[in-house]
Amino acid sequence: MVRISFRRRRSRIAHTSSRSADQQSFDFTGSVRATTVRFRRRWLPSGGTRRSSRPWSCSSSPNAGCSSTTRWRSGCRVSSRATGTTAHTEEEIVRAGLGHPPEFQPGQGWSYSNTGYDLVGLVIKAVTGRTWYDEVDRRIVRPLGLRDTYFPGTDPRIAEPHAHGYTRFTAGEYTDTTELIDADASGGYISTLKDLDVIVRALFDGRLLGPAQRREMMRTVPTDGSADEFWPNARYGLGLFSSDLPCGGTVWIPSGDQIGYKTRTGVLPGGRRSVVVSMSSQLNDSMPAALAQEQAAKHLIDNALCPAAR
DSSP 279-310: ESEEE-S-HHHHHHHHHHHHHHHHHHHHHHH-
Mean pLDDT within 108-113: 86
So what's the pLDDT on residue 292?
92
The per-residue pLDDT for 33 is 24
Whether 20 shows a pLDDT value over 80: the answer reads: no
Which pLDDT belongs to residue 84?
A: 52
Q: How far apart are CA 310 and CA 140, in angstroms?
A: 31
Q: Is 14 exposed, middle or buried (0-12, 13-18, 19+ CB in 10 A)?
A: buried
Where b means 16+ CB within 10 Å and e means fewer, 74-98 reads: bbbbbbbebeeeebbebebbbebbe
pLDDT digits (tens, 9 = 90+) for 127-182: 999 999 999 999 999 999 999 999 998 888 888 888 899 999 999 899 999 988 87
What does the pLDDT read at residue 64?
A: 31
> Tens digit of pLDDT for each residue in 45-93?
334 444 444 444 333 333 333 222 222 233 333 333 444 556 678 888 8
Say whether pLDDT at 34 is over 50: no
**DSSP code per residue over 164-221:** PPEEEEETTEEEE--SEE--STTT--EE-HHHHHHHHHHHHSSSS--HHHHHHHT--E
What's the mean pLDDT in 238-250?
Answer: 92
The rounded distance, in Å, linking the Cα atoms of 166 and 107 is 38
- The 10s digit of each residue's pLDDT in 189-204 is 899 999 999 999 999 9
Find the mean pLDDT for residues 204-225: 93
Q: pLDDT tens-digit profile of 257-304? A: 888 999 999 999 999 999 999 999 999 999 999 999 999 999 999 999
Domain count, the chain: 1
pLDDT score of 241 more than 90: yes
Q: 73 pairs with which residues across the strands?
A: 76
In sign, the C-alpha dihedral spanning 177, 277, 118, 64 is positive
Segments forming the whole domain that contains residue 270: 3-309
Distance CA 234, CA 245 (A): 11
Query: Residue 69 maps to which CATH number?
Result: 3.40.710.10
pTM: 0.73
78/64 Cα distance (integer angstroms): 9
